């Protein structure tokens, strides 16, 4: 059942045509499904995973790191500042009941991917995907609670059970993009005190160093590590992780890459016990921890937001972001 929005409700939204072309167009505000509320978008952070939509086009409005205000008169959440949890979830299946809401067994849909997202003035959001944001979190940092802090924090919390700070020794982070830099801060907060970062981008490496990490040569295999957090998505970095992880150590795959990856099952792979872990997004129960992580390192996270602009400037700034000129730019719609 659909609950229609008022007739003639029109908004501005980004249309991803593919072939690196984005236009801003007047479109209808999406219909609200049962259990949905309308959110007026205030900020949407740009994400590298949207590059594939930039190249091939998108069936729905893109943008999945969304923060806004509920605009649903009469609803208990009306007027509340909320971040948008992108995985739809049923709250009933075994995974949801276990708390793994990002891995729902009944619903496989992501806001900004399989349904309209946040590069627009409004977005329909299921009620159970609304995450209230405290007033002390400024608008421009609120989207970081999702991918930058949520994804990185979940990865570190997950592996902490396998390779604790007391066991780890030096930790290697490959890739100093927004999530990789988020991993550095999450590791630091969890007590890992010797963090190495490998990235060819000198600017990003300097930010990692300002966060307390040490630079590590890209591709270097002369040192071994009990914990490697792979955030670049590059197959070469994944293969290197398998090579240099210590016995009983862990390689955590956080970065994404849709291209096929072939693992050569040679001696370096076969002849040691080690963990190879994939983590995705974060469970709803982590959101309070994400907020505390942001509060603890607010000044560091502010360094990542290096651009704010309106919808009309999204096409040119998305291109700059794709070229590596910006780290975590934010679409601002107030």
Please tell me whether residues 21 and 88 are part of one structural domain.
Answer: yes
Helix H or strand E encompassing 287: helix 287-296
Residue 293: inside a domain, yes or no? no
Please tell me whether residues 127 and 76 are part of one structural domain.
Answer: yes
Residue 300: inside a domain, yes or no? no
Q: What domain range is 328 assigned to?
A: 2-140+305-332
Please tell me whether residues 249 and 315 are part of one structural domain.
Answer: no
- Tell me the DSSP string of 50-75: GHHHHHH--SS----EEEEEE--TTS
CB atoms within 10 A of CB 214: 12
Q: How would residue 264 be classed by pLDDT, with cut points 50, 70 and 90? A: confident
Please tell me whether residues 195 and 315 are part of one structural domain.
Answer: no
Please tell me whether residues 178 and 226 are part of one structural domain.
Answer: yes
Contact (Cβ atoms closer than 8 angstroms) between residue 232 and residue 205: no
Residue 234: inside a domain, yes or no? yes
Q: What is the pLDDT of residues 267-311, one digit of tens each?
A: 999 999 999 999 999 999 999 999 999 999 999 999 999 999 999
Q: What is the pLDDT of residues 223-252, one digit of tens each?
A: 999 999 999 999 999 999 999 999 999 999
Residue 19: inside a domain, yes or no? yes
- Residue 254: which CATH number? 3.40.50.720
Distance in Å from the first CA to the final CA of the chain: 31
Taking residues 17-43, report their average pLDDT.
96
- Residue 69: which CATH number? 3.90.180.10
Taking residues 132-145, report their average pLDDT.
98
Residue 284: inside a domain, yes or no? no
Q: Say which range, 115-119, 122-126, 258-262, 284-288, has the weakest mean pLDDT.
A: 258-262
Please tell me whether residues 66 and 168 are part of one structural domain.
Answer: no
- pLDDT at residue 8 in the model: 56
Q: What is the pLDDT of residues 143-189, one digit of tens each?
A: 999 999 999 999 999 999 999 999 999 999 999 999 999 999 999 99
Residue 23: inside a domain, yes or no? yes
Please tell me whether residues 106 and 236 are part of one structural domain.
Answer: no
Give which of 165, 178, 68, 49 is closest to 124, Cα–Cα. Answer: 68
Q: 66-90: string of b/e by CB count within 10 Å (b at 16+)?
A: bbbbbebeeeebeebbbbbbbbbbe
- pLDDT at residue 258 in the model: 87
Q: How far apart are CA 312 and CA 46, in angstroms?
A: 15
Please tell me whether residues 11 and 86 are part of one structural domain.
Answer: yes
Please tell me whether residues 126 and 18 are part of one structural domain.
Answer: yes
- pLDDT at residue 132 in the model: 98
Contact (Cβ atoms closer than 8 angstroms) between residue 237 and residue 175: yes
Residue 175: inside a domain, yes or no? yes
Please tell me whether residues 158 and 136 are part of one structural domain.
Answer: no
Residue 297: inside a domain, yes or no? no
The mean pLDDT value of the chain amounts to: 95
Please tell me whether residues 195 and 127 are part of one structural domain.
Answer: no
Per the structure, how many domains does the chain have? 2
Please tell me whether residues 219 and 133 are part of one structural domain.
Answer: no
Contact (Cβ atoms closer than 8 angstroms) between residue 182 and residue 286: no
């Amino acid at each position: 059942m659909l609950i229609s929005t008022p007739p003639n409700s029109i908004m501005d939204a980004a249309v991803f045509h593919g072939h690196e072309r984005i236009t801003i167009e007047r479109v209808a505000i999406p219909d609200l499904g049962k259990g949905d509320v309308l959110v007026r978008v205030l900020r949407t952070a740009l994400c590298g995973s949207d590059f594939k939509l930039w190249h091939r086009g998108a069936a729905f409005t893109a943008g999945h790191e969304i923060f806004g205000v509920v605009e649903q008169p009469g609803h208990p959440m009306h007027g509340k500042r909320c971040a948008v949890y992108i995985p739809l979830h049923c709250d009933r299946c075994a995974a949801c009941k276990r708390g793994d809401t990002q891995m729902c067994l009944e619903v496989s849909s992501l806001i900004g991917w399989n349904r309209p997202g946040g590069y627009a003035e409004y977005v329909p959001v299921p009620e159970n995907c609304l995450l209230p944001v405290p007033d002390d979190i400024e608008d421009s940092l609120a989207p970081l609670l999702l991918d930058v802090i949520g994804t990185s924090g979940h990865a570190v919390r997950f592996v902490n059970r396998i390779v604790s700070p007391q066991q780890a020794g030096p930790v290697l982070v490959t890739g100093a993009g927004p999530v990789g830099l988020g991993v550095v801060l999450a590791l630091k907060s969890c007590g890992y005190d010797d963090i190495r970062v490998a990235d060819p981008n000198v600017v990003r490496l300097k930010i990692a160093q300002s966060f307390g990490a040490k630079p590590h040569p890209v591709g270097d295999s002369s040192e071994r590590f009990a914990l490697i957090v792979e955030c670049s998505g590059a197959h070469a970095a994944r293969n290197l992780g398998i090579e240099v992880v210590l016995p009983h150590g862990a390689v955590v795959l956080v970065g994404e890459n849709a291209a096929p990856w072939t693992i050569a099952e040679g001696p370096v792979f076969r002849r040691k016990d080690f963990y190879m872990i994939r983590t995705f997004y974060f469970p709803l129960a982590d959101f309070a921890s994400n907020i505390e992580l942001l509060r603890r390192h607010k000044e560091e996270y502010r360094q990542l937001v290096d651009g704010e602009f309106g919808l009309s400037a999204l096409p040119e700034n998305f291109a700059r972001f794709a070229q590596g000129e910006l780290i975590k730019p934010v679409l601002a719609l107030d």
